[in-house]
Amino acid sequence: MDQLGGQLAAPSAGRRLPVPPATRDAQKCGSGFQESLAHAGTCNGRSPTKVTYYKAGLTELIVGSNKSIISSNGKGAIKGKGLRIKNAKNVIIQGITISDINPHVIWAGDALSFDNVENVWVHKCTIARIGRQHLVSFQKTNKGITVSSCYFDGTSPSSAYCDGKQYWIWLFWGTHDEITLINNHVVNTAGRTPHAGGWSKSLNYVHLVGNSMDNNNHGGIEPRTGSYILSEGNKWTAFTHPINIQAKGGHLAMVNDANGASQCKKYLGANCLLNKYDNKSKSKTWFDAVVLSQFSKLDKKAISSARNAVCV
């Protein structure tokens, strides 16, 4: 990544955005679960209700090119509002916490959005108590994104399954995404780790490497139309379904054995790392060699560097 400038100061930890709550018609997606601001079709047939939420969460702070948002002591925090990196390149976000964006309401705010970006590094950040996505890429080109050594905490007072675990974690559905997720710790989730693809123009290359995934009773990786996901060197603990059992349409290479690892060498020049599972985590076999073929067209040096940086 290029040398960046224009450092921005993060708000002090614990500061709540001074915006009064708003109330509008919504629909309740279930009984006692998260509520929803009900984009068309998401809650058809459910009874409307009133939802109170903070308006600040609906619009992110925009981050442009050549910017760094860095907390030197790791205590910088943005509370109640997310960041959208938009039409930008060369951005670093490091050492901050993004939290408490209307956690009880779906569609009431994302933590970190990628919207037509290139060369973005998110490092040692914490994301917690978010109503919608922790990470999301929009339907444009998003290349050179690395998210490393971050803590994604799905623990929430409101959740899709009413079990205190967030469902909406990582959603990637750009027209050309190149995203590396490395050495992150993901806890208490219920889905989308990640969800990639799912519409006619999706093209999503996702390298999932060296991450620790803990405590999920529902589902994890969701390959959908247009996605190519390479999963190597990750560890699942108390994670019932590392792959969402309903996922279909995309391509996934789960490197679970020596054969898969050696196929990586054929396409990428080196063996992939094996995924690991505890006795509560059962992964079905899903290994599409086409993922490796597609990844061979990308920067092999970057892929190798990510693998060599794995610390789990």
Catalytic positions are 192
Burial 148-170 (b: 16+ CB within 10 A, else e): bbbebbbebebbbeeeebbbbbb
Which residue, among 229, 211, 209, has the nearest Cα to 271 in the 3D structure?
209
Q: Which two tokens stand for residue 183?
A: 């050495």
At residue 265, the 3 state secondary structure works out as: helix
Cβ 276 vs Cβ 235: under 8 Å:
yes
Cβ 218 vs Cβ 241: under 8 Å:
yes
Q: How many whole angstroms separate alpha carbon 102 and alpha carbon 56?
A: 9
At residue 55, the 3 state secondary structure works out as: helix
Could you count the other beta carbons within 10 Å of the beta carbon of residue 40? 6
Q: Which two tokens stand for residue 18?
A: 């001074």
Residue pointed to by tokens 């960046």 = 4
Q: Which two tokens stand for residue 67?
A: 């910017």
